Structure 1
Amino acid sequence: MTLFRPCLTALLLGTALAASAQTTPAATPTPVAAATPLTPPNAAYAAKAASFQGAPATKSHYRAVYQLDSDDPKLINQTLHNMKNALEDPRLKGKLELELVVFSRGTTVFKKDQPYEADVLALQQAGVVLAQCANSMKAFKLTKDDMLPYISIVPTGNGELILRQAEGWAIVHP
């Protein structure tokens, strides 16, 4: 009985501590970098990284559809800028087909008299398909006259994304 009592006490104490640990908020973890001293990089991997120039463009044609569903000016500008960068990537020059699918609050980008008009026009002139969701236009009570004249209207933005993905297009959502 003498040996049993300390074991039982330890078991109960351990259970109580475990239950307490589960209900007590965790302390902020110490960053691993602070606890672990940095070591020199692996020389073989460093040499490989120094000569790496990205994936090669081995196909003759690439297709990507960019999704824009936000009216956040930073996200809109980022999306337009990312598309411009993709068009200018030397690996993809002459091999890239792009589409911008706009729906929900992203509809702002295709409305007339918005600060994005010059960038959108530049994409259109580069051959980018500009697809606006008809459902979103209806939800915001917009007509084709409210929109830039060179955009296309698709029944639904989500439907367009689904169809493009099924056709093998890369989906990009910055």
Structure 2
Amino acid sequence: MTSPPAPPGVVIHLNDADPDHHQAVLRNINNLRAELGEDTPTELVAHGPGLDICRTLTPHAAAVTALITEGVTVAACANTMRSQHLTAEDLIDGVHIVPAGVAELIRKQRAGWSYLKP
């Protein structure tokens, strides 16, 4: 007997460079996981100026690392990385690289995931 498929999750869109906004997004992720359960699949997709949240030099590195440790997927856009001349070494350990952030958002929505743009 196979177990039922996991329910769709929540994909969060971040394309803003403001560190205060990054803090609010991280707070939103923690709040939604507290309400919906930590087993709710959750992915933060960062592209454009929002990619700063994935960099090792972000003031939120500890919070991002904690979310990754707790099972949240943090995805960085490879297109943005190329345009900003970044490599995987510039990112927080555990950040996934996706070919295109916008396409990742669409893939998740097509798979039934809820979309959140705080």
| Percent of paired sites with the same residue | 34
TM norm structure 2: 0.90
CA 1:142–1:63 in structure 2 vs 1: closer, same or farther (change >3 Å)? same
Residue-by-residue CA offset, 1:107-159 (whole Å, 9 max, x unaligned):
10011122110110111111001110000000111111111121100000000
Query: For the Cα contact (< 8 Å) 1:103–1:132, is it kept in 2?
Result: yes
Could you tell me whether the CA contact under 8 Å between 1:62 and 1:95 is conserved in 2? no
CA distance in 2 between counterparts of 1:67 and 1:86 reads 14
**Bigger-Rg structure (1/2):** 1
Matches within 5 A, 1:1-12: none
Q: State the partner residue of 2:47.
A: 103
Distance 1:95 1:111 in 2: 26
Runs of at least 4 residues of structure 1 off by over 6 A?
none
Contact kept, 8 Å, 2:65 with 2:93, in 1: the verdict is: no
Unaligned runs of 5+ residues in structure 2 are 1-5
Matched, 1:69 2:15: yes
What's the TM-score, normalizing by structure 1?
0.62
Count of residue correspondences: 113
CA distance in 2, matches of 1:162, 1:110: 20
User: RMSD across aligned C-alpha pairs, in angstroms?
Assistant: 1.3
CA deviation after TM superposition for structure 1 residue 61, in Å: 3.4
Work out whether 1:78 is the aligned partner of 2:24.
yes
Indicate the structure whose relative CO is greater, using CA pairs within 8 Å and at least 6 residues apart.
Answer: 2
